[in-house]
Amino acid sequence: MIGKRIAEINVGDKASFEKTLTETDVYLYAGITGDLNPAHINQPAAEKSMFKGRIVHGMLTAGLVSGVLGMQLPGPGTIYLGQELKFRAPVKFGDTIKAEVEAIEKNEEKNRVKFKTTCTNQDGVVVLDGVATVMPPK
């Protein structure tokens, strides 16, 4: 299985993935990364924060973008070179997040594609946006 090569990708091409993020997802991510910030795993402490409760790790949300790039567009064999991103709104436990990528620039000579990356919640609120640079499979 191999993803799309650069000649098969057009500016404007899109792909997406949706997932409801659960408490289990957050605890697994915290255990893997060591990010045990109370904002994510300690309800009493998180209730005193500006969010009034626990929130999902921003980088867990960003990881959904990686899944789209690595499995759909361009797909398997893609090398993720970089990501600029901004966290726009908190993600709460139980939110359904749609990660979407859209090809915005191609450099065939260097085999590079830039993608606009966006994550929105079930209410259409943008929670993350940015630009990823990848090398599609050859």
Q: What are the pLDDT digits (tens) for 14-57?
A: 999 999 999 999 999 999 999 999 999 999 999 999 999 999 99
Nearest to 68 by CA among 97, 91, 29: 97
Six-digit token pair at 87? 């966290």
Three-state DSSP state, 60? helix
Query: What's the burial of 113, exposed, middle or buried (CB within 10 Å: 0-12/13-18/19+)?
Result: buried
The ranges assigned to domains in the chain are 11-135
Burial of 9 (0-12, 13-18, 19+ CB in 10 A): buried
Band of residue 1 on the pLDDT scale cut at 50, 70, 90: confident
The C-alpha atoms of residue 21 and residue 11 are separated, in whole angstroms, by: 30
Cβ neighbours, 10 Å, residue 26: 20
The pTM score is: 0.94
Which among 100, 112, 91 has a CA at the least distance from the CA of 69?
A: 100
CATH 3.40.50.620 at 11-135, yes or no: no
